[in-house]
Structure 1
Amino acid sequence: MSPLRIGARGSKLSLAQTGRIRALIVSATGREAEIVPITTTGDTIQDRTLIDAGGKGLFTKELDEALLDGRIDLAVHSLKDLPTLLPANILLACVPEREDPRDAFVCLKAKTLAALAPGAVIGTASLRRQAQVLHERSDLRVVTLRGNVDTRLAKLEAGDADATFLALAGLKRLGLESRAASLIDPYDTPPAACQGALAITTRADDAATRALLAPLENADARIEIEAERAFLAALDGSCRTPIGVLARKKGGRLTFVGETLTPDGARRWRREAEVVLGRDPIHHAQTLGEQLGLQICDEAGDALTTES
């Protein structure tokens, strides 16, 4: 049989995490697989934030097109980059085991955000991280810092900013976790939805490929990300809405914390919950995420729409 063709962004991090998925596929199925690097619009835009460029779909559009055109059989994404609404005939077929979802504080001058001097500069391209920083430290200044992990670390060393935040999962997959000055408490300051999780997408009509991926599916990770994506969908989450959320499955229970803020961090709406998962845990997870997201929508009212 011909090798499976795995589409992925051409960044160092994407290729590293896709390489792990390829190895798992080969080990679990005995089927050969090759990685097909694809440059996305999000990779080529470095002079402005994703908000100004068009949003999350910038990292998935070209991979979706390659899937639908039959140039690849599956695509690997960082799940936090995946829009809540997928194109027709594309499915989120598999969610492998989730890596640590926490944010890492990266700084050469201080151990924590609290220890930074007043007026220090935080570099980030994430509106969520900007809002959360300013909510905690309104005396700091936030500037746009784009690029892959290596580029952002180099910019930090060059003095473009005093500190930044990176997903710990990405640092670990690149063997760079030692660059973290400290880790952010994910309940005090929730990460991006689905941070640390990977998504494998396929064509909806390709049952054979989905069957091959079945051994890679992680039930706990799927339950968590379905809760988080339901929260996003209820809030109409996008790059223009600062949203942090984390669901964690422990035994038969699911803990959940989610928040949204105004971009300047001045206002925050937050919900926490813990539920017992029943016979249909994915349905329970989705329902919880949706309900808490709708509660925040009701509480924030026009303020959330206007400010975001």
Structure 2
Amino acid sequence: MSKVIRIGTRDSELALWQAKTVQNQLEARGYKTELVPVKSTGDLILDKPLYELGITGIFTKTLDVAMINGTVDIAVHSMKDVPTALPFGIVQAAVLERASTEDILVHKENPDYKKPCTIATGSLRRQAQWLNRYPHHQTTDIRGNVNTRLQKLAASDWTGAIFAKAGLERINVLPDNHEVLDWMIPAPAQGAMLVVAMEEDNFSRTACAKLNHEPTALCTHIEREFLKTLEGGCTAPIGALAEDFDDEIRFQGVLFSLDGQTKIEIERVVSKANAVGFGTDCALEVLDNGGRELMKEIKEKMKK
């Protein structure tokens, strides 16, 4: 094990926490490692909503290039940020055991949702689900890493901002003034960490395979399969959650219009033995139930 595995990561506090977690698990198994932090385009451009940037894998592209160029051997990502189609030559090496999948609202005082409110989120999925539930509210864009978004919320007159619970818990910044949005379907693979490697790098792939958590890998695969089949390369308000219950997988999926007023959802259960293609099958059912027309409408509006 003389080779040093160079671990590529974004340089935010959360990304470094995730990379160090992988580093610790590899070193506990006898591997030598080195962290290589880099800034992604998504971290540098903070004045535009993500969906307006028009870049697939905005948080992963810089690390993809570093891997292809041989600057790093593996990269660690929040799995929900990773495009469903990996670049040629890069493969999934491990999915770590999942943390919380829930979205939360960090708020000021005790919000009265019957009154007009402004809720901050940079996610079309969160925006659409919030407006579906509270059509009399407004949403506003918010960008930046977890700490930056918390600071922006504190300095604003917004009622609250939506975060992934796992991210705030991992770096110990989860405030008391929050509530779990148990009605909100998370992003596909939310709460999961993905390690990728070069397909030809057998050493790093073998090392990372020891970190793989099979139940999480299966559930996130189903969710991302659902996303890939629906999305067709277009950013859209899509939520998906697959949960492991002994010998079966329980799945919830949802597609919204951008304004949240149209909602197409699906709930299905499948045995693990029949889970191959399950995410695709669920997505096709959504598409047949009005999803094709809705996706066309979303793509046309996103071009404007």
TM-score bracket, shorter-length normalisation: over 0.9
How far is the alpha carbon of 1:59 from its aligned partner? Answer: 0.6
1:135 aligns with 2:126: no
- The match for 1:287 is 277
Q: Which amino acid aligns with 1:106?
A: V
Q: 1:285 to 1:43 in 2, by over 3 A?
A: farther
> Do residues 298 (structure 1) and 298 (structure 2) align?
no
Indicate the residue corresponding to 1:249 in structure 2: 244
Note the C-alpha offset of 1:238: 5.4
Paired letter, 1:155: K
| Corresponding position of 1:161 | 158
Runs of 5+ consecutive residues of structure 2 not aligned to the other structure: 300-304
Q: Which residue number in structure 2 is paired with residue 307 of structure 1?
A: 298
Note the alpha carbon deviations across 1:26-61, whole angstroms, 9 max, x for none.
002x11211100111111010011111124411111
**2:113 aligned to 88, 94, 116, which one?**
116
Contact 1:56 1:81 in 2 (8 A): no
| Cα offset, 1:303, TM superposition | 2.8
TM-score, reference length from structure 1: 0.93
Q: Secondary structure at the match of 1:235?
A: helix
Q: Return the letter of the residue paired with 1:72.
A: V
SS in 2 for 1:177: coil
Distance in 1, Cα, partners of 2:184 & 2:143: 22
Structure 2 match to 1:98: 98
Alignment of 1:183-262 (within 5 A): 183-185=180-182, 188-236=183-231, 240-262=235-257
Q: Determine whether 1:277 maps to 2:277.
A: no
2:169 to 154, 172, 181: 172
Query: Would you identify which runs of 4 or more consecutive aligned residues in structure 1 move more than 4 Å?
Result: none
Could you report, residue by residue, the CA deviation over 1:177-210 in whole angstroms, capped at 9, with x for unpaired residues?
334511121xx32100000000000000111111
Give 1:237 shift.
Answer: 5.7
What residue number does 2:75 align with? 75
Distance in 1 between the 2:298 and 2:85 partners? 23
Tell me how far apart the structure 2 counterparts of residues 152 and 117 of structure 1 sit (CA, whole Å).
25
- Tell me, in whole angstroms, the C-alpha distance in 2 between the residues paired with 1:238 and 1:11: 27
Structure 1 unaligned blocks of 5 or more = 279-283
SS at match of 2:231: coil
Go from structure 1 to structure 2 and tell me whether the alpha carbon gap of 1:149 and 1:299 turns closer, same or farther (over 3 Å shift): same
Aligned equivalents of 2:74, 2:189: Cα separation in 1:
19
- Alignment-derived partner of residue 5 in structure 1: 6
Count how many residue pairs are aligned between Structure 1 and Structure 2.
297
Query: Are residue 51 (structure 1) and residue 51 (structure 2) matched?
Result: yes
Within 2, Cα distance between the matches of 1:15 and 1:40? 13
TM-score, normalising length: structure 2: 0.94
CA, structure 1 residues 97+55, in 2 after alignment: closer, same or farther (shift >3 Å)? Answer: same
Cα gap change, 1:156 to 1:238, in 2 (>3 Å): farther
Cα RMSD between the aligned structures?
1.5
* Distance of 2:231 and 2:155 partners within structure 1: 37
Shift in Å, 1:250: 1.4
